[in-house]
Amino acid sequence: MSGPRLLDPQTQALLDAVAASGALATHQLSPAQARSAYLSRRDTLQPPPLPVGKVRDIEIDGPGGALKLRIYRPGADTDTNTDTNINTNTDSLLPALMYFHGGGFVVGNLDTHDTLCRALCNQACCVVVSVDYRLAPEHAYPAAALDCIAATRWTHANGAKLNIDTTRLAVGGDSAGGQLAAVVSQSCKGELDLAFQLLIYPITDARMQSESIERNGQGYLLGKRDLAYYYDHYLAGRDVCLEPMASPLLAPDLSDLPVTLVLTAGFDPLHDEGLAYANALSQAGTKTQYVSFARQVHGFILMGRVIDEAQLAIDTCASALRRALHTESR
């Protein structure tokens, strides 16, 4: 017999503070205001960024012009998992994770997810390539997806130049970024032999029909009206919700996709579609693990300064990445 649904006390305290502040919800802001507000929360909610071996920003030719990438490389003194003997010298060949940030396709950038990318780089002992894809409404569907696909293909083609082992290339992201990772995996199936996909509370069904959108659609940071705001900007009013590039859950064939970890939050409007995608992958024969942080809200993995379980979630993601990318059989 299940008991009442309870939030993590630290998360409840955060929600109480947000409510007391009178801050406007995302759907009440312009895209520019929403981007500024999202970035400003970094200093109050995220822990300080950890050092890594090397970070550099580059630009490549993308579908819509210059596309920025930030490349994180671990160093021997930044590997936080010293129980294994992995060569992390500057010139060593390492596996890599393509990371696509969250933010509803409207907000977020390389800086909003810098701390998370550094943690994954260190703990999974892999290169992380963070992608600054185009945002809506200036660049509507499917611009973000096309940028992420192009960045993944470019990284795969330039693995030797980047000291990346492209036989061990993973994709991942949170929220909208999780959707983009799923889209990249589907789009590159049969072309790139991706090793893993990390889907952190992903968007998988843009039809907004799941029970958790109603159950968790108000009072838990990401609201139902915020979701509609994001979709209105990204999908630009077009009837594309049935297309797999908008709703990866609806793809006709989910077999032969990379080994997957799906992570969800219990008080997240996206909870049910994340679970549905994990189940659909498993039913299609794709090796999938599913973890739900039952007492958390959407976006919590970026809130390690105030929510302890954020680090546990990062540990979970990094451990799965490390196992997938550093297994001798690959």
* 219: alpha, beta or left? (left if phi > 0; alpha if psi -120 to 50): left
* Catalytic residue status for 40: no
Nearest to 152 by CA among 174, 175, 130: 130
Measured CA to CA, the distance from residue 327 to residue 35 in angstroms comes to 39
Residue type, position 199, single letter: L
Q: 35, 21, 1: which is closest to 233 by C-alpha? A: 35
CA 250 remoteness from chain centre: 19
* 114-124 and 309-325 helices, crossing angle to 10°: 50
From 79, 132, 174, 268, active-site residue: 268
Give yes or no: 111 in active site.
Answer: no
Neighbours of 88 (CB within 10 A): 18
What's the token pair of residue 109?
Answer: 């950038």
* Cα→Cα distances 73→104, 119, 155, Å: 27, 11, 14
Provide DSSP, 78-114: T-S-TTS-----TTS-EEEEEEE--STTTS--TTTTH
Residue 141 structure tokens: 């569907």
Contact 169, 96 (CB under 8 A): yes
Task: Provide the H-helix boundaries in the chain.
Answer: 9-21, 31-40, 42-45, 114-124, 143-157, 159-162, 176-187, 211-215, 224-235, 271-283, 309-325
Q: How far apart are the first and last CA of the chain?
A: 43
SS3 311: helix
The reply to whether 298 belongs to the active site is yes
Q: Which one of the listed residues 8, 114, 175, 185 is annotated catalytic?
A: 175
Cβ atoms 137, 106 nearer than 8 A: yes
**Active site amino acids:** 175, 268, 298
